[in-house]
Structure 1
């Protein structure tokens, strides 16, 4: 006899925390891909000059720093309540942290 499908319910705060962690893990990969884009540009007739490549690399670096700071602030914000004290972890996360 087949069992009915089990419905998985994740608390919204836990789900968002995990998605933010996933995005934080992807940031180095995204950064690497964006930093390698100037290698595809060919200098010469109608190509991009080296100065543009340097500006691109610096711009990507600034965006990565800002995005990482935003992710960190979102994580800190989600872990603090209105008074600034840490919220207790849900039961599901307590076992994973030990």
Structure 2
């Protein structure tokens, strides 16, 4: 058989086209990447939640500053707890993905 000008050899008649294997990622590495994505999105979520009190101006009565401060520090505490949880989950995902060491230790 001769090759066409494009350089791709023709497929023999009656043979189905070659199928490529689907791209699959191991479950652990997929989970680890999603955790990293969540860790990267956490500061953006915090920024949006911290600026949310600026939208409260439309109320008839002004919002007391004490409630706004409780809200801001509550968001800060929630972000710190979420970051700590993500760090623990990432450490667990890293230790599960790491190959076992050859030696048993000293």
Pick the TM interval, shorter chain: 0.7 to 0.9
Please list, as runs of the form range in 1=range in 2, the aligned pairs for 1:7-86 lying within 5 A after superposition.
7-42=22-57, 45-81=60-96
Query: Counterparts of 1:44 and 1:18 in 2: how far apart (Å)?
Result: 42
1:93 is matched with: none
* 8 A contact 1:41–1:48 mirrored in 2: yes
* 8 A contact 1:20–1:75 mirrored in 2: yes
Deviations 1:32-51 (A, max 9, x none): 00000111112873342121
- Is residue 71 of structure 2 the alignment partner of residue 87 of structure 1? no
Give the unaligned 5+ runs of structure 2. 1-10, 12-16, 100-106
> Pairwise CA RMSD of aligned residues?
2.5
Higher Cα Rg, which structure:
2
More helix by share: 1
Structure with the greater relative contact order (CA < 8 A, sep ≥ 6): 1 or 2? 2
